[in-house]
Amino acid sequence: DVKVTQSSRYLVKRTGEKVFLECVQDMDHENMFWYRQDPGLGLRLIYFSYDVKMKEKGDIPEGYSVSREKKERFSLILESASTNQTSMYLCASSLATGGTEAFFGQGTRLTVV
């Protein structure tokens, strides 16, 4: 059974902390994605990666960075957490460009206090 695993289901961090959200997939997928989801705004793309060490900015990359050192792992980094980054974060992966379904993790609900 295919699986995308996010490291935490719930996370509480303090303003100014550096926060790491980890995502691991076991399907040998090339593409990986990070989204944040806020009420009424749907899913907004933060960053995506189509290969190891490759990354592309999405629509809202400010305040975030990513790392993809290995194919199966895509990390989202909040350099200095702020309260406006309180949100649900969703990771996804897909096999290849333009033709396959994506698989999602269960989500990480991050609260910055």
Partner 1 sequence: SQQGEEDPQALSIQEGENATMNCSYKTSINNLQWYRQNSGRGLVHLILIRSNEREKHSGRLRVTLDTSKKSSSLLITASRAADTASYFCANNNNDMRFGAGTRLTVKP
Q: What is the dihedral of CA 86, 110, 92, 37, to 10 degrees?
A: -30
Stretch that binds partner 1, among 12-20, 68-76, 77-85, 90-98 (CB under 8 A): 90-98
Identify which of residues 85 and 94 has a Cβ nearer to partner 1 in the complex. 94
Q: Where are the beta strands (DSSP E) in the chain?
A: 4-6, 10-13, 19-25, 31-38, 42-49, 56-57, 64-70, 73-78, 87-94, 102-104, 108-112
Among 25, 34, 36, 48, binds partner 1 (CB under 8 A): 48
Hey, which residues between 16 and 45 contact partner 1 (CB under 8 A)? 31, 33, 35, 40-45
Among 59, 62, 69, 84, binds partner 1 (CB under 8 A): 59
- What is the spatial distance between Cα 111 and Cα 1, in angstroms, rounded to a whole number? 31
Site residues for partner 1 per CB under 8 A: 4, 31, 33, 35, 40-45, 48, 50, 56, 58-59, 88, 90, 92, 94, 97-107, 109
